[in-house]
Chains A and B, each alone.
Chain A
């Protein structure tokens, strides 16, 4: 039985709500633990109270700064009355720490703008042309043979990355390791009549794939290839998710579903407003990390970024987000069309920032260069 005075409980519960609204998840179980802990450690000393709150309510390092800020604001009585955020604090805040925005300071529920509102405003602020540029690309120039070649190589690659051998073992007639457990159990009653051997092998599992394609202005020359690659891959691989980005991330998986290339392109060009726009890789990856993190990217996901790495955004943000993405996926592959140029060195700012977090960095200037990708994956 938890015996915390009602008035104090009110404050504690309000505090956890504030935290929750600010983005630190606090579930009811946590709240109960919190109350039980406070009974043990008391309210006499601010430092102890802080330590207790932190020990119970935090479950990831990224939340610590946010937590500290909410804690200070809340318990020093400097609460700012709840109000709708105005458009000046839409995305990054000025202080360079995008996680700790103004949204941390408000108690009442429902003060955060809802998703559609935010997205709507975002597209207003980013005035990139929404003309159907895609339609102007003459896809008829792609010969049948080229398209077939694309599909053939893509399929080879897909076979390699779509599955992986788990470190876990299952019974397998073609395995090379003896499955002692099964063997003994099946042979117990055989006595000396000979023993039947059973084998086990590493299990084959499906990888989840996510393809993030850069469609900014600098990639325009390769856009035909990009489109082909996306559609072909999606066509043969149901577990693939596709997203495109230049100044914002748009997931277009559903738009590519089981319709012809032409039809897909029409739909995509209608849905993606920032085709051939500027590039802000950091912010796009951030959007991806925040919105699709757990559903699309997880420990067994291979993320493929197709981009030239020319970035006009803030490199600090990009570093942080690349690191986050790298930690959350199984492998991060970066395909760079500029790598086909023998003179090319990854010197542009964006590429340099991303390099430490990439598992495989390889060329993608034409379909043949993808054979290199296949080779690397085979050995991985």
Chain B
């Protein structure tokens, strides 16, 4: 699939995903060893995005399972199509089928509703599907235990049908916002990677990769501003997703240059808590905007110098 770590980096970059060396290595090893990737990090740093990028690279299906407390087999794995089963019973009855034979085949694959995990095991494409198990920290311990079984053998048992084995071992990406610690047994089956907030260079590269039409000056200003407030003691620090949202919002407003007024009007793209917005006083905004402008001016003269902290 991939020949080297650099190959992974390059392919991801083609998809607009800028990965650092460790992440690229993790992806490379995960595909080589057939082990799931377990990604942790603050919200909005690109955990889910990598699964999308990988499915685009592999040209295969992306199957997503969003976790929540109480997630059970009927939503994660399979469910019988009860309506169809009941109708079948009525039809057979109307046809005058033998009483003994009525309902003998309503527990067959035809009446099965496939949920994400089963879909991933039964995918038929040339390339293995990418299975994204999103925010696994929201699920409960029972589900974790259940995942263990699937992730080690890639097979499941449906009592009425028997054991179903994966056609191709899916590429599995688990993500967690770390609202709780997952069990070691689950982590042990995966390759772990912590995605941190990006460095200034990396963030700039991400903005340019995702929003090619953004002007350099604005991109530098936005990145610098965000990098600065990320250092603050905020309840929710802005992730890369916020940087991109904000840059997009400013572009939609035809802005090419930040101003304190614009920042206070669009700050909702960056800070998502009232308390956080309140910590940002007009004076501080002016100061931050001034700093961001200086950074952009410097970068225009000496490309690459926006990285200084």
**Chain A residues near B (Cβ < 8 Å):** 25, 27, 29-30, 33, 36-37, 40-41, 47-48, 50-52, 54-56, 58-61, 64, 166-169, 180-181, 184, 188-189, 191-192, 294, 298-300, 327-328
Contacts and interface: CB of A to CB of B under 8 A. Distances in A.
A30 B185 CA distance: 12
B178 A327 contact: yes
21 contacts: A27-B188, A30-B188, A33-B33, A51-B5, A51-B21, A51-B25, A54-B22, A55-B191, A59-B188, A59-B192, A60-B187, A166-B140, A168-B72, A181-B82, A184-B82, A184-B85, A188-B103, A191-B102, A294-B184, A298-B141, A327-B181
Contacts of B194: 58, 61, 64
B306 interface: no
Contacts of A47: 21
B33 A37 contact: yes
Contact of B106 (A25, A33, A58, A188): A188
Contacts of A40: 28-29, 32
Contact of B187 (A59, A166, A294, A328): A59
Size class of the B contact interface (CB-based, 8 Å): 35 or more
Interface centre among B25, B38, B89, B180 (most CB of A within 10 A): B25
B14 interface: no
Contact of A181 (B24, B80, B184): B80
A167 B102 contact: no
Interface in B69-87: 69-70, 72, 80, 82, 85-86
Contacts of B69: 167
B29 A60 contact: no
B140 A167 contact: yes
A50 B26 CA distance: 11
9 closest cross-chain pairs (CB), A and B:
A167-B70, A51-B25, A188-B103, A55-B26, A59-B187, A180-B82, A51-B22, A59-B192, A61-B194
B32 A37 contact: yes
Given A184-B82, A192-B93, A60 B192 contact: yes
B281 interface: no
A328 B192 CA distance: 19
Given A61-B40, A61-B178, A61-B194, A184 B106 contact: yes
Contacts of A29: 188
A50 B22 CA distance: 8
Q: Which of A33, A55, A56, A188 is the most central at the interface, judged by chain B CB atoms within 10 Å of its CB?
A: A55
Given A51-B25, A191-B99, A192-B93, A168 B106 contact: no
A191 B98 CA distance: 11
Given A33-B33, A167-B140, A41 B99 contact: no
